[in-house]
Amino acid sequence: MSELVPEPRPKPAVPMKPVSINSNLLGYIGIDTIIEQMRKKTMKTGFDFNIMVVGQSGLGKSTLVNTLFKSQVSRKASSWNREEKIPKTVEIKAIGHVIEEGGVKMKLTVIDTPGFGDQINNENCWEPIEKYINEQYEKFLKEEVNIARKKRIPDTRVHCCLYFISPTGHSLRPLDLEFMKHLSKVVNIIPVIAKADTMTLEEKSEFKQRVRKELEVNGIEFYPQKEFDEDLEDKTENDKIRQESMPFAVVGSDKEYQVNGKRVLGRKTPWGIIEVENLNHCEFALLRDFVIRTHLQDLKEVTHNIHYETYRAKRLNDNGGLPPVSVDTEESHESNP
C-alpha cells in the first residue's frame, strides 16, 4: 500500500496592511473650501432671527432692543395716550426689519408683548404668549408636512425671549416665577434685570445671586440649559455664563453723549453719564455679545432641535402618528360634505 500523503493546506490569507495616504503625494484637494461654499450659500439666503421681549411697562424693553441692534427695530409709542397706555389684555405685536452688515443680511423680527403684568389681576397673563409661541411651531409644522412644501420654509418661531425683571433688589415676583416656569419649556428664556443703574453695585450683585437661587429652587431652567451643552468646551463656557453673568443687569439707551472725546451711548444723570457699553457701568455689552456674537446660531438650533421637535412629537402623537390636517384640506371637506 502506498502511503497517503496529506494534501498541503492553503495558507490563510494575510490581511493587507492599510495603506496610509500621503496628502503630499496627492497634492491639494480643496476640501478646505467647504466652509467658504457654505458661507456664500448662507449669505445668499440670509438669516432669520426672532426675538421676543416680555416684561412690565416702563422697564425699557423697546429701548434695550433698539440699543442691542443699534437701530430703531422695536415699537415705541409716538405719543402718550391715556386710553392706550395700558392694554386691557396682553397683546402680541411683531415688527420685522432687515438688517445688513458686512454683506450679511438678517431678517430680524421683534415680538413685543404690551400689557403683560400691568393689570391688577395678572393671573394666567402668560397664556397668550405661550399660545403665540405654539402657533408659530404649528405654522412651521404645517408647512413641513405639506406634500409640495416650500424649498425654504419661512421661520417665524421665537428663537429667544428676553424676560425683563424689575430692579426691586428684593426677590422675584410670583408672576416672574410663574411665567418662566411655564414658558421655559417651550422657548429659550434669557432673564434680564432692567434699569440696573437704579441699584448700587452691591445691591446689583446681591440681587443677581438671589434671582439665580430662586430660579434654582423653583426648578426653572433658563438658556443656556445644562443638558444641551454638547461638549466640555461648551460646558465650561456656559457654566461661567450661568454662574456669573445670569441674569444680565443692563441699561439701555439710544442717546449719544460726548465722554473723553468719544461719542458713547448712555444715560445722563446729575452725577455723570452711565455708559451703556462700559462693563464697569452695566452688563449690556455681555448680553449683546452673548445673544448676537456667540450664541445666536445656537439659540436657533436649540429652538429647532429641542423646543420645536418636542412640540412636533407631541402634535403628531396626539394625531395618532399622522401629520395634522392642513387648512386647505379642512376647507375642502367643509365645502364638500
- CATH superfamily, with its number, for domain 44-73+85-253+280-316: P-loop containing nucleotide triphosphate hydrolases (3.40.50.300)
- List b or e across 264-274, with b for residues whose CB sees 16 or more CB atoms inside 10 angstroms: bbbbeeeeebb
User: Cα–Cα distance between 316 and 198 in angstroms, integer?
Assistant: 48
**pLDDT for 204:** 92
Do 163 and 55 meet the contact criterion of CB atoms below 8 Å apart? yes
Do 236 and 321 meet the contact criterion of CB atoms below 8 Å apart? no
One-letter amino acid at 37 equals: Q
Mean pLDDT, 10 residues at a time, over the chain (337 residues)? Answer: 54 55 64 81 82 90 85 56 58 87 86 84 87 95 85 91 90 91 94 91 92 94 88 87 91 84 84 85 91 92 95 86 51 44
User: Vertex 161, ends 158 and 165: CA angle to 5°?
Assistant: 165
Tell me the sheet residues that pair with 304.
none
Angle separating helix axes 174-183 and 127-145, nearest 10 degrees: 10
Do 290 and 323 meet the contact criterion of CB atoms below 8 Å apart? no
**pLDDT for 74:** 67
**pLDDT for 51:** 95
User: Cα–Cα distance between 184 and 190 in angstroms, integer?
Assistant: 9
**pLDDT for 323:** 55
